[in-house]
Amino acid sequence: MIPNEFVFQEDGHKYFYNNKQVPSVSEVCRFTNREYYYNSFLPEEVIEQAAIRGTSIHKACELIDVSADFRMFNLADLIDKGIIEVENYGYIEAYVKFLQDYRVEWKFIEHKIYHKRLEYAGTLDRIGAVGGEFSILDIKSSSQIKKPLLEAQLGGYYELCNQPDVGIDEIKRLYCLHLRSNGKYTLYNMEINTELFRCNLFIHNRFMRHKPNKGEII
């Protein structure tokens, strides 16, 4: 690995800078994510299946965004070719409806950024104009949206884009696009606020400096 090179490792979804693994936005925000703790009691196959579904939906949405004309995209053909699973059709249909309802111009798709000062990284689903305003858009396909967790994550993404020399225009809006299996969507317009993310980052850094043994107080 080249010194000072920012690298993303697909296996395990890990980020590295200067040969050192750095935390992701999702990892930092685990302290706001109660499911992070509840999931330890769920069967591993259930957690894995949910992750596979989310990845598949994201890849299908990306394919639509890089196509010449998403309005003419034949979702049935994508199912026949095995690109979209039948059970995910509703989520993709919802994404296409969003694209048809809003004037979007993506500048970055699945864009990975490292924060040199705060030393964390993340992948931003979409960066670009939504309804004429330069925005960050996070795509979710979970059954529910947890507003505190969403606020923390979007705050972390905003911090990544707000550092100098990353080639990104000033972010005006933070959005979460919640896709549902029935072909419908909800677009959440979130306040630009990084306080909750920074609280999570402080706890993460404190925790990583001294990982406790079982029963030990830190």
Beta-bridge partners for 109: 126
Measured at the alpha carbon of residue 159, what is the angle toward residues 212 and 115, in degrees to the nearest 5?
65
Name the token pair of 127: 């960066």
Q: Higher model confidence: residue 46 or residue 197?
A: 197
pLDDT in tens, 87-145: 888 999 999 999 999 989 999 999 999 999 999 999 999 999 999 999 999 999 988 89
- SS3 track for 33-95: CHHHHHHHHCCHHHHHHHHHHHHHHHHHHHHHHCCCCHHHCCHHHHHHCCCCCHHHHHHHHHH
* pLDDT, position 39: 53
pLDDT in tens, 12-59: 889 999 989 999 999 999 988 765 545 555 666 766 777 788 888 998
**C-alpha of 58 from chain center:** 9
Give the least confident one: 14-28, 64-78, 118-132, 150-164: 64-78
Sorted by where each starts, the structural domains of the chain and their CATH numbers stand as 6-209 (3.90.320)
Residue 137 CA to residue 192 CA, distance in Å, equals: 12
* pLDDT, position 34: 66
Residue 175 phi, psi (nearest 5): -125, 150
